[in-house]
Structure 1
Amino acid sequence: MQAYFNKPHIKFYGIFLWVIFSGFGTNYSAFAQEEIKKRLQEKIKKHKENNNFQRDTTYINLLYALGMQYAQYNLDSLLIISNESIKLSKAMYYPKGEAQGYLIEGLYYSNTGKQDLAISYFQKSVSIASASSEINLLLESKIKLAAEYKYKEDYANALKYYLEAIEIAKAYDSDKYLSKCYLNISSIYRVQKEYEQTILFLSKSLKINQSNNDDVQFAKNLNNLTACYIEMGNLDKATVAVDNAISIFEKVKLDSWLSYAYELKGSIHTNKGQFYQALEWLNKSEKIHDKIDKGRYKIPLALNLSKTYFGLKDYDKAEAYALKALEISEKLNVLEERDVTLELLYKIEKINGTPEKALAYLEDLKAISDTINKNNNIKELRILKSNLEFEQKKEQYISESQQKHVLQRSYIYFSILIILAFAIIIFILKKNNKTQNALNQKLLENTEALKKNEIHLNEANNTKSRLFSIIAHDLKGPIDSFKSLLDLFNKSELSKTEFMHFMPQIGENIDSIAFTLNNLLTWGQSQMDGLSTKPDVIPLKTLVDESLRLLSKQAEVKSISTINNIDKNVIAWSDRDQIDVVIRNLISNALKFTREHGIITISAVEKALFWEVQIQDNGVGMSEDALSKIFTENETASSYGTRNEKGTGLGLRVCKEMVENNGGTIWVESNLNYGSSFYFTVSKSKTL
């Protein structure tokens, strides 16, 4: 393994885990921090004096604010606050408070190294904040969730949630969260060593900070820009950036980020071999770190101090800090930089003349190297996977990079000619494509019109075939019979007495023909030209009475009782002629399938917006198979009635079209041998 000092660099874990620190920090010193916590605690205490404080949303919001203050200085308190927030919020159904509680608990598990648990709680917070449209809380939760995936080196998922947060931040003009997203996405590119993209996203964030005069966030971005320049080996630019950041952080006394800036400053000196200067800055960082309860961030600082003391040949202190880094990494189960720590301890023990300890560290280094190599392989695969996703998204979030090709003068004219040639070719191709697209569009329009005409012609042919079939079978027969009787009578082959004997049958045939013609005309018009519906105020009782009077002869022949239970106050808003056709067909249908001495009842039930009309008989009923086909569009066959009455098979289809044309529905309930009940709905009169 190559030693740390062979080339200037700082590993990803040791620096860029600080990227999300902004979500946990505040803009005040430790003293100011205590003042804020004290004020919040006083407010909470005051609220708790109210007997109803457990149902007070202000109390829950104060708990959240206090939890965010504890996020880096007192992790144990986070769990207590989150549990109370979640419990009280659930009891009073306060989704925002519940989401805040899950967010605080996620921070606790994140800072204690339990990443899977942190992810599960951040996901809960995202889900509830999204459902309750709490935009700021949703953005905060998504960014925390993305950061946790980044800690796990699951960069594809990290990018997914950052991009989702960007879309939301843009939609709601939230520059604060947009800047955070750009800052964090830059770290994903950085781990893949795509430094141009890293700097591009940092620049986007810096631009937002400048336009909003947000000096603190500007300085945070400078810290991360410094870390990028250190990895690139550009220590001069790194120095300029970190010096600007330090001046801002010292002014606002933002301890967490100031500590990081001091560590970066020390790293620059370490990479330059200026160990005394490095130690000065690292000690400043350590002093602040003692007040911060964040173990994972103490690992790179301790390792930096160990390397600095190693450079100063103070091997006792170098060993002490290396052991401290090793202890924390083992406690939090962090593998990053453990190999560097073990290698450094091996070198120290070797210099100290303790070969047994040196050998032990070397064996530990060998044992862990396989694990780290395996993890690195997995990381590389994840990086490759996320690279594919990045390429698909780049055009949405970054502008096209400026071309940096420097051409020699001898190629300039040649290049211009090539460009002109391509321009001409592209112009011709575009012109041809435009013409081709216009022709294709015209062809598509013509094809669509032909398809519509074909459908219309097929429907017209089908309608014509049905009409001819019905006319041939249901009208031609009765008319031919009637004509034959007249011919016999005219030829004196049939006496007047005999002719009069056939008159009742002739009357029934004529009624059947008239009824069939009426249905045919109504249905044919609806199929070919469409119906013109003219709704009006209609009394349903009057329509039913008229139909019963017209069909009274059919009822008398079979001694069927007809009962109209519809009240005169039942007023509908529909087309009178169309609903009249429906009522007459349904009553005629009931008469047809009701045995002698049967009963037909017509009634209406009032609903909120419509009348539900029922025509019930105690006739022969229908089987399940017949019920499934009764309103089928392609079925035109009819059944014979109890006295062999024959219909067209169109009556119920006409009813269905008329009812639906008036905005209603029609259905039937029937039991074989027990009768049928037809229902349809009509709108209530608007004048009532």
Structure 2
Amino acid sequence: MQRIILYILLCGSLLPGTFRARAQSAEIAGLRSSLPFAKDSMAYVDMLNQLGMYYHLSNIDSCFLLATKAREIALRLHYKRGEAGALKNLGIVYGQQFSIQQAIAYEKAAMALYLASGDSANVCHMMNNLSIDYEAAGNKPLELYYEQQAMAWGSRLSNDSMYSLVLSNYIIKYTKDSTKQHAVKWAYDQLRNITARYPYSREWLYAKMFEAVTLLKQGHGREGEVLINKVADTAIQKGFLHLGIAAYFRVLDDFIPMGYPADSVLYAAKIFKLSQQAGYYELMMKMLPYLYRHYEKVNDADKIAYYGNGIRQLALHQLTLQRQRGEINYLEYFMKEQEMQSLQLRNQVQQQAIERSNLERVTRRILIWFLAALLVLLTGITIVYYRYYRNSRKYELRVDNMNRSIAEKNRLLRSNDDFKNKLISVIAHDFRDPLNNIIRMAAMLQAHSLDKPAMEQLTSQIADSAAETLAVFDNILRWIKSQLSGFIYAPAPCNIYSMMTEALPSIQHAAQEKKVSISIQVPDDIQVAAEREMLQFVHRSLLNSAISFSTPGGQVQVLTTGDAGAVKVWVKVLQINITAAMLPHLFEYRGTSYYKGFRRHDAELALVICKDFMDKMGGHISAAPEKGGFAFVYELPSFH
């Protein structure tokens, strides 16, 4: 129910201050009748956006169609404020359709337009919406980020009502969190100070709801219930039906869960009645089953008939909406829009290429005319010298521009060359052992006649090496994708012990050749938030590098430590064959196989890629000296 209350408060903030829920139909009729008489196209866009906002609770399809029409006109007129309003309505539509990622995309686009136009109130509003949407999407870091940004922007606004909304949502969200009670009290004090200047306003009514909950927590539940009903009555008298509904929800979500003996059926019936007056069909559908089942249990024939008729009317209403909506495909619209943006960007690139080509032709023509002019003006040395000097300055400017262009292209070439070298290193590093194993076993097949059990064992080993090669290939593809644009990092729970155990077979042959012992001293319940394939590549690379840097007969230990929500994984090499001066440079890439007088180890480019992966996953990796050796250490957020 908490998200329902946040949504009701959000809806109330979206509507104009003069809005009265019981007059919504009259407002819609008035706006529709005024559309043909709009003074200009921008006013027409604003009216479409306002009309769509009125429709978003009772007819989401109408809200969608009005928003798309308003956006189309706003784009044609280059009317940024109108486009932002349409994007905001589209975000609401996709949020109600549970297409959270699409809703977030539209709200971010609207926020960017509001930022460009300096509309701080709407920027704060979009940040508040994004915090709620990221909560629904389960993205805790971005939820907290936008929540903090909304609080910071709201505190600087001259528009107290928007800051009051942010504070109200914060209080509702954390009122039951025992660790946030100090912050909730601070937010409540701020809200009360603001609303004291506007008695009987919407913000004042919000504050009174929280005052009633505070009375309940202090042991004055009866006084709190009386205050809640007074707030609801005042809101209804002023026409704020959505606030009356929010007040009654406080009883269901706060009073009853805290043990106060309130009549839940009575308040559910009040919410249903107000939702029926306001046309909030979603809330009616949430209340009806509960009320119908209750009166069916107590065998109240009149109430059963009343609420049964309500269910029938809602079913007819939903059937009518489905027939009218014409199979609107919201996802198809979103995908076509993304495709159109891609085509527009491609067209811009082509236009720039054409303009560059035209500029080159113009430059060549100027040069030809310049040479012709020199031939004609050879008779006057002074004139020739003057023209030469003047045109030489122009030529210097053109050469300078060309040099800058060449320098930029060289930078891109170096970047591509670095990526190519890394890729070659990964292939050489991760494919060497599996392919060598396959070749070695194939040679054994050719050189020896083996009995059937030995043949089966050798064939199984070849299959295992081939499977390992394919797994390495998949990891390389994963790394290549992480270097390309459009890569989205999606963390998941990763068990360190099981992943380290899975990585051992890939380096077992190298460990046996150098007689290096490996011990994994990791609890089997340690988990980190990471991308599994990236992290497994890091594990294999660190173990392989540890064996490479270890002396024959050495030891490698894998340990973990954790504090403050993070986990550190240590891969310790107890006997090493490299100097301490090399350790700070193991994760650097210099584009050459030599660095400061020593040859780079084969594993070092793989370590550079490990650092790339850690940066992608929001972690950190380094090499630190230990007693008699050194240790690879990486740190990632713990997964709870």
The alignment's TM-score, normalised by the length of structure 2, stands at: 0.44
Higher Cα radius of gyration: 1
- Normalising to structure 1: TM-score of the pair? 0.41
